Amino acid sequence: MPLGGKGPLTIIVLSVETALAALCIGLRLYTRIAVRGGIGLDDHLLVITWILQLLFTILMIVSSIYGFGQHTTDISLEDVRLATKIEVIGQFTVSIAMGISKTAVAMFLMRIVVIKWHKAVLWFWIVTMMGFSLLLAISCFAQCTPVEAIWDARITEKTCHINLTIVAFIMCSWSAAMDFFLAGFPWLVLWKLNMSKKEKTTICTSLSLGILAGVCGTVRTSGLQVLSESADYLYATADSIMWTSSELTITIMCVSIPVLRPLWTRVLGGTSVSDRYYKHSEASSGIMTGGRGRKSRGADNSFAMNTLPAPEFREQANTTMVGAKRPHSSTGSEESILGDNNIHKTREFTVSYETRKDMDP
């Protein structure tokens, strides 16, 4: 049947937000792999979140084709059953995605914080959020027996053990509370860490945008009473579906922005702190060069010797110094003396000096 009601708007909102989330995650992965040199658990969790978000969007598009977003009186009973069944599957999917997205934010902060009680607080939010998410996901199908009674009004003999409205209210309220918590927590725990002020400001400010996700969650929670309106379920839940997608997308954006800072810096032609360790010099064949590593300033790659007296010179010598070699290395390759957990690139620099005649024996 043709689209109608809030169906077209739902498709547009979910499709745009899914594409935006894909862009953020794609740039995040590129930055982590190409600029930083590796990905972490939080990145994997975001990829899983986006896959579930994509599945949720596809399901809601199909549900809209059968009548989601329209009044029950405007579509056939068969279409009502199909649209409702597909929507319930979509709700199951997005419930899990919501929990994983919040977990990804907490795991991102877990990579930075060092104090035990900070980690304990984050684990508390992770465990409780995933618990409520799984509870809501299971409740989507376990609320009534037989399961088919959830979307098939012809089944009159049924038993409903779980009030989905109450479960959804608890989960969505907790999700919104976690959004507000994660927006303020970085300002408390990161500001005293030994990080550059720009890095801390970027992380804290971007995660503070989670307040917007909290607002979306609050609006969604305030309208959850529509879950009990089975007479016009497909139309009544359209707004809740869109607010859910918005909250999920904002969460993905907030946790992706801090990671994109090195990429943004590189695009603008500068270098971030990490770039100074991982930037290769064309002249060194893959070995790091000394100085700050900025191509635009050749003076940064040399050491100023003009403070030394230089009356008369007889000869000039060049000494090349490379990163220290490990004493018991079986490969014989140059490795950093800082160890495997620090900088893995060696840095090569050349010091030119000149000997004075009056210093000869």
Domain ranges of the chain: 7-267, 279-359
Alpha carbon 75 to chain centroid distance? Answer: 40
234 and 68 Cβ atoms separated by less than 8 Å? yes
For the full predicted model, state whether its pTM sits above 0.75: no
Give the orientation angle of helix 164-189 with respect to helix 197-208, to 10 degrees: 160
Task: Say what the pLDDT of residue 205 is.
Answer: 81
Helical H segments across 32-76, by residue range: 41-66
Q: CATH number for the 7-267 domain, one of 1.10.3470, 3.90.550, 1.20.1070, 3.40.50?
A: 1.20.1070
- Give the bridge partners for 355, in sequence order: 315
Task: Say what the pLDDT of residue 270 is.
Answer: 53
Task: Say what the pLDDT of residue 344 is.
Answer: 42
Q: What are phi and psi of 334, to 5 degrees?
A: -75, 130
Ranges of residues in the chain with a pLDDT under 50 are: 271-350, 352-361
Tokens of 298: 């050749």
Task: Say what the pLDDT of residue 301 is.
Answer: 37
Alpha carbon 87 to chain centroid distance? Answer: 26
What is the end-to-end Cα distance of the chain in Å, rounded? 101
Task: Say what the pLDDT of residue 55 is.
Answer: 97
Integer Cα distance of 255 and 182 in angstroms: 10
Predicted confidence (pLDDT) per residue in 134-192, tens digit: 999 999 999 889 999 888 888 888 888 888 888 988 998 898 898 888 888 888 877 77
Task: Say what the pLDDT of residue 302 is.
Answer: 34
